[in-house]
Structure 1
Amino acid sequence: MSQHTTGAAEFDGLVAVVTGGASGIGAAIAGRLRRGGARVAVFDLTPGSAPHADLAVAVDIADDTSVRAGVDRVVAEFGRLDIVVNNAGIGAQGDISANDDEEWRRVLDVNVLGTMRVARAALPHLRDSPAAAIVNTSSIAATAGLPQRALYSASKGAISALTRAMAADHLREGIRVNAVNPGTADTPWVGRLLDSADDPVAERAALEARQPHGRLVDPDEVAGAVAYLASPASGSTTGVSLAVDGGMQELRLRPAQ
């Protein structure tokens, strides 16, 4: 039996950073970790709106100086850092010709290098933690070919590969690294995409039908998966990409009758 136990206090005494934690999936993750007993620092471009933060810090993950200052502030405030959830990211639409080189660099800089910057700044502190964990937010776009998502898919595929490489590099330092792969979630970002569609109702129905369980993923469901991956009770789980997608990655159902 594991020396760790799960429950309401599974994160007691631990300090977590959640990037992009002011809204959507990030806010749900911050809330779940906090309910589990963690002290949570939210990194966001607009952190003042973060509903589940013990500390809210304005951090631009595309700026290494900003990232390092944010991590330093967390450690100064709480004296430690145990869990890093790299959730912040930006979207992109279109095939490979739809975005110019500058946009490709911008999205990869935020989604991939941003994840690297936060993890890199946190590493010295995670090495001192008895329960160190990094959880990266990837996507169903990393494992399934989705139309009109070339740039976004490339960035999330890189996150999945990076997660495995980081897990191998840091396992013997006591740092577990995993990823969560959400399907299409019911978030403000998806809501804005729907609002811009020619027929928002039809577009939502199509997104729901694409997922085998027939609905959008709830952000709290993603947060539950992140909590599992981050928990000290999951000490034998590393290098994993956990799908939370209603079966989209693995299932091939017949059409409903």
Structure 2
Amino acid sequence: MSGALAARRILITGAAKGIGLASVARFIAEGARVVALDRDKAALSELAGRFDRASLHVVTADVVDPTAVAAAVAAGVDALGGLDGVVNAAGIDLMAEIEAMTLADWNRIIAVNLTGPMLVMQAAFPHLRAADGGTIVNVSSGAGLSPLKHRTAYCASKAGLQMASKALAIEAAEFGIRVNTICPGAVETELFRSSIDGAADPQAGYEAVRARYALRRIASPDEIAAAILWLTSSESSYVTGTAIAVDGGRTFH
């Protein structure tokens, strides 16, 4: 490893699984100290056992709860002595026809995928300003660039996160804070598997998804974490306000 994040203090949401978990491992390997935020206490406890306490601090919170988010960010800042970056990786999916989707379904997707990242960014922002050059990377989706059938709420939430990130990038630039968005395609996570395994023919469903991609395969979480790392490191020091597709070519293919 290159030590690309040496001495950096990073908060990662959705840290117990999938892309968030892969980011925690990669960031710590690159020298960062990490606050791992997730609502899954058991998974966080397991995660805490994998790393040295000097490198990882875990906090339990649901990103849709403003009070819990504010307390979690404050606890993380206290543990690390400040904050240099945020990665918003927490997210959920919904596949539903418009007539079957309830208002509660819609509200939950928007709350977790769009309002949650906003609450985290809002709570973290003064600490990033104090760090004199912080970074924010929001995990959106290729579905926010190119829509998917029966995912009206999900696509809306992810496209909204991209535009919110671009708007904040303008505001944050005054303080040397960079804000960018990663747009993954299908990734081998529990979230992806839950939608595939719930299909009438899981194998056919998997192949149908794979066929959308120019590279003809599904990404590993670590491949997405690598892109998040780049946007968090000084290697991307002149990049802000972008939405980068890390999707094996789905959005152009």
TM-score, length-scaled by structure 1: 0.92
Distance 1:176 1:14 in 2: 15
Counterpart amino acid of 1:38?
A
The one-character-per-residue Cα deviations of 1:109-141 (angstroms, maximum 9, x if unpaired) are 111110000000000100011340000011010
Please state whether the residue corresponding to 2:245 is helix, strand or coil. Answer: strand
Kept in 1: contact 2:15–2:38 (CA 8 A): yes
Kept in 1: contact 2:13–2:36 (CA 8 A): yes
Distance 2:247 2:91 in 1: 18
Q: 1:30: which partner in 2?
A: 24
Stretches of structure 2 lacking an aligned partner (at least 5 in a row): none
Distance 1:30 1:104 in 2: 29
Counterpart amino acid of 2:131?
S
Q: 1:165: which partner in 2?
A: 167
Distance 1:183 1:161 in 2: 18
Kept in 1: contact 2:13–2:20 (CA 8 A): yes
Distance 2:234 2:133 in 1: 6
Q: 5 Å matches for 1:100-249? A: 100-249=102-251
Kept in 2: contact 1:131–1:232 (CA 8 A): no
Distance 2:104 2:249 in 1: 35
Task: Determine whether 1:71 maps to 2:73.
Answer: yes
Please state whether the residue corresponding to 2:193 is helix, strand or coil. Answer: helix
- Cα distance, 1:21 vs. partner? 0.7
Aligned residues: 245
Task: Determine whether 1:14 maps to 2:8.
Answer: yes
The one-character-per-residue Cα deviations of 1:127-172 (angstroms, maximum 9, x if unpaired) are 0113400000110101112111111001001011111001011111
The one-character-per-residue Cα deviations of 1:68-117 (angstroms, maximum 9, x if unpaired) are 11111111111010110011011111233231112211111111110000
Distance 2:25 2:15 in 1: 9
Q: 1:255: which partner in 2?
A: none
Distance 2:210 2:198 in 1: 17
Please state whether the residue corresponding to 1:210 is helix, strand or coil. Answer: coil
- Percent same amino acid at aligned positions? 37
Distance 1:29 1:174 in 2: 23
Aligned-residue RMSD, C-alpha: 1.3
Q: 1:4: which partner in 2?
A: none
